Amino acid sequence: MNALLSIKSLCKRFGRREALRGVSFELAPDTITVLLGSNGAGKSTLLRCVLGLLAPDSGSAHVLGRSPLREQRAVLASIGYVPDQADVYPWMTLRELFRFLRPQFPTWSDERARRLAERLEAPLEQPFASMSRGEAAKAMLAAALAHDPSLLLLDEAFSRLAPPVLEQVLATFVEEAPADGGAALIATHDLNVAARVADRVLVIDQGRLTADVEIETLLDAAEGARSLPAALRDMYPDHAIQEQLA
């Protein structure tokens, strides 16, 4: 089967700043890939190019062989997206969000949406404006998974969650993430999250991919002497480590 996501020589500038500099990689089916990088490394810019929200200055992104710019509607129908903060009307409830999303996704399942909301204990009738960060994160994950997307994109979706909420969200993600040919790409700066869920880790720094490694390779190299988060930390540039620890 062809790659679910193909990124080739992707470049994006904002004025003089190069947010993405020649990024290339592919996502194979049945994989969870973590895009690891500090704030400002280019993670969100890359995801927005995949969603068709930004046009690259050069290079390309294709989802299931389709261009997000030329076939955005078809591309978005195959993607589940969880942003850093809920990008919905503040007055909207999760039930209303489900109602809004249903006609946009041919594979939408009301039963799956209800089951995910129940499992995550996401409030159905509470406006997003009054939700805690954890409640909003659980609600957005339920909405992103309800149509069983081929590609799941998460942009710092696990950041700043209280430990009990993080455990609940991670457990649901691991069990419900795209399977049977699907894939997930998680943009994060959290080494512990990466160590717990990734099959593969990409490191991005100042717009460039600086590492691409399978988790099994890291485990074999460590030979049990070091923790996986510590091995991942070795892949980070020194300045990015200092930013994360600050």
The residue extents of the domains of the chain are: 5-221+228-245
C-alpha dist (Å) from residue 60 to 53, 55, 82: 13, 9, 22
Q: Which carries the bigger pLDDT value, residue 95 or residue 243?
A: 95
Q: What is the CA radius of gyration of the chain?
A: 18
Tell me the residue type at 192.
Answer: N
Residue ranges of E strands in the chain:
5-14, 17-27, 31-36, 58-63, 79-82, 151-155, 183-188, 200-205, 208-214
Contacts of 96 (CB under 8 A, 6+ apart): none
**What backbone phi and psi angles, to 5 degrees, belong to 196?**
-85, -30
137-173: pLDDT as tens digits:
999 999 999 999 999 999 998 888 899 999 999 999 9
Cα–Cα distance between 91 and 40 in angstroms, integer?
Answer: 30
Residues in the chain: 246
Residue of 63, 141, 162, 42 whose CA lies nearest to 97: 141
Average pLDDT for 185-193: 90
Whole-angstrom distance, CA of residue 83 vs CA of residue 204: 18
**pTM for this prediction:** 0.90
- Find all residues with CB under 8 Å of 101, minimum gap 6, and list them: 108, 143, 146, 147
pLDDT band at 224 (very low <50, low <70, confident <90, very high): low
State the DSSP code for 238.
H
Q: In the prediction, which pLDDT does 241 show?
A: 46
Q: Which helix or strand (DSSP H or E) is residue 244 part of?
A: helix 238-245
pLDDT of residue 202 exceeding 70, the answer is: yes
Q: Write the CATH number of the domain with boundaries 5-221+228-245.
A: 3.40.50.300
Q: What is the mean pLDDT of the chain?
A: 89
User: How far is Cα 63 from Cα 66, in angstroms, rounded to an integer?
Assistant: 5
